[in-house]
Amino acid sequence: MLQPASLAKSQSAPGRLSDLNDQGDVGGSRIRSAERTEPVIWTADHTEIVLETDAFGGVINALAANGYAAGATYQSAGGEKVHPDGTVQPHTVPQLWQHGERIALESPKGYGASSSDELVAVNDQGFAAGVNTVTEKNVERPVAWTPQGVATLLETPADSHCHAWSISDDHIVVGSAYQQMISGDSTSTVPMPIRWTNWDSATTSTLELLPMPDSQPRPDDFPGLHLALTFVGVTEGGSVLAEYSSHLGQSAYFYDGGKPTQINQGFDVNIYAMNRHGVVVGAIQF
């Protein structure tokens, strides 16, 4: 039977919970003021640990074993920069912590101060994955980091925005690539699951685009279609779970050996998490 647990004896403040590791520790963030957000770990024994950051704070997006937490430190309030034309863009640097101590991470080469980075996943060895946003070009690029902080810009398909979303304990990174298709007056957005292997070795990194399931809608049938990958996770062996969503509904597919198998039939589904063994939690929509 599940028992409620207090997330430490701290003052009440708005925030969010982001991840849970195998030891029962919970990671998230807490808004302390309009200028500062604190990344916090609430341990299984109800101890609260506020992680070290710069003046504006930061956020935890993922937890793993061996004391690893991954996220970003903010370079402005809320980690966002508002431009004179009203557009809002991320303003963060990547951050990895181990046992509360900061680990310095490289930023990917190529764009310098005009880019923003954030970790979204970390495995039990401290290898991490995330996204590099090039603000001046409105381009998003997938990145992986070693526990020593070395950044690797992952290969991307041509003419696509690309995210890295998850990393397995055997260092397989999965994410999504988005391509725009223009037909007449309509522009459609089409996503594809993507998997990277061998990125951390001396051999050539392998990029694999996984096929979009035949049962998903196509822009030819629905002009202006905007199809999204709202969850992408990976098991130890590299099998991938992907959730597609559009105005027509939400469906989840498990890619084993590169072939998609739908895991929901006749109802919409929301996927929230998958562990390394392929156990999935989510919700059915009636």
- Minimal CA–CA distance to 89: which of 100, 78, 99? 78
Alpha-helical runs (H) found in 12-90: none
Task: For residue 36, count CB atoms less than 10 angstroms from its CB and return exposed for 0-12, middle for 13-18, buried for 19 or more.
Answer: middle
Q: Is residue 9 part of a domain?
A: no
Per-run averaged pLDDT (10 residues), the chain, 286 residues: 46 76 90 88 91 90 94 79 68 90 84 73 95 77 92 85 90 88 76 88 79 83 80 88 88 88 88 84 85
Our count of domains for the chain comes to 1
Task: For residue 22, count CB atoms less than 10 angstroms from its CB and return exposed for 0-12, middle for 13-18, buried for 19 or more.
Answer: exposed
- What pLDDT does residue 111 have? 57
- What pLDDT does residue 136 have? 66
Q: Is residue 10 part of a domain?
A: no
- What pLDDT does residue 3 have? 41
Name, in order, each residue with C-beta under 8 angstroms of 279's C-beta and a sequence gap of 6 or more. Answer: none
Pairing assessment for the beta strands 88-90 and 80-82 based on DSSP bridges: antiparallel
Rounded Cα distance between 215 and 22, Å, is 35
Rounded Cα distance between 152 and 144, Å, is 5
Structural domain span for residue 195: 15-285
Rounded Cα distance between 51 and 97, Å, is 8
Q: Is residue 4 part of a domain?
A: no
99-133 confidence digits (pLDDT tens): 999 998 988 776 555 568 889 999 999 999 999 88
Q: Is residue 5 part of a domain?
A: no
Q: Is residue 3 part of a domain?
A: no
Q: Is residue 150 part of a domain?
A: yes
3-28 confidence digits (pLDDT tens): 444 554 555 567 788 898 888 899 99
- Do residues 97 and 51 lie in contact, with contact meaning Cβ atoms separated by under 8 Å? yes
Rounded Cα distance between 116 and 130, Å, is 11
Residue 65 tokens, joined: 């074993």
- What pLDDT does residue 4 have? 47
Residues in a beta bridge with 188: 181
Q: Position 237: which residue type?
A: G
Q: What DSSP designation does 226 have?
A: B
Task: Write the CATH number for 238.
Answer: 2.130.10.120
- What pLDDT does residue 12 have? 58
- How far, in Å, are 64, 66, 107, 191, 285 from residue 134 at the CA level? 28, 32, 11, 20, 36
Residue 13 tokens, joined: 């403040």
Phi-psi region of 61 (alpha: psi -120 to 50; beta: other; left: phi over 0): alpha
Q: Is residue 67 part of a domain?
A: yes
The pTM for the full model equals 0.85
Q: Is residue 111 part of a domain?
A: yes
